[in-house]
Amino acid sequence: MGEEGLFQVLVRENTENFKRIRFQRIMTTDPHAFNTLKKDYPGVLKVYHYSEILLDLIESGRLKPVRTLSGDDLYTYHDPCYLGRHNEIYDAPRKLIQSLPGMRLVEMQRSRDRSFCCGGRGRYPVP
């Protein structure tokens, strides 16, 4: 959905801007933006979801969670379709969540590649 011609114009303009600036990687919090930059832009952009960056910082010891959760509550994680099914990033968000002391993470019945779509039309048909 959307205007393909405008998208192509924006890709060209953004790509030209990327050539003018120096950067090592792009970080995004949005799974849709992650997918678009990774798969719809020409060349090879080093695109990362924020969960990958934060997990790397935690695993390397450069970032340490300090708040301890009580351990009384259960938490779950919903896999966004553009992060999970389309890009196979399942473990980084979970490991990041589990790095919080006292975290009790449980899986939903439909998780990972079986997760319901996170948006758009969803799983319900439009009348």
Q: Output the pLDDT for position 114.
A: 86
pLDDT score for 118? 60
**pLDDT 10s digits, 72-95:** 889 999 999 999 999 999 999 999
Please tell me the predicted confidence (pLDDT) of residue 66.
Answer: 86
> Which residues of the chain, if any, have pLDDT below 50?
121-127
Output the six-digit token pair for 58: 């935690």
Please report the pLDDT score of residue 67 as a whole number: 82
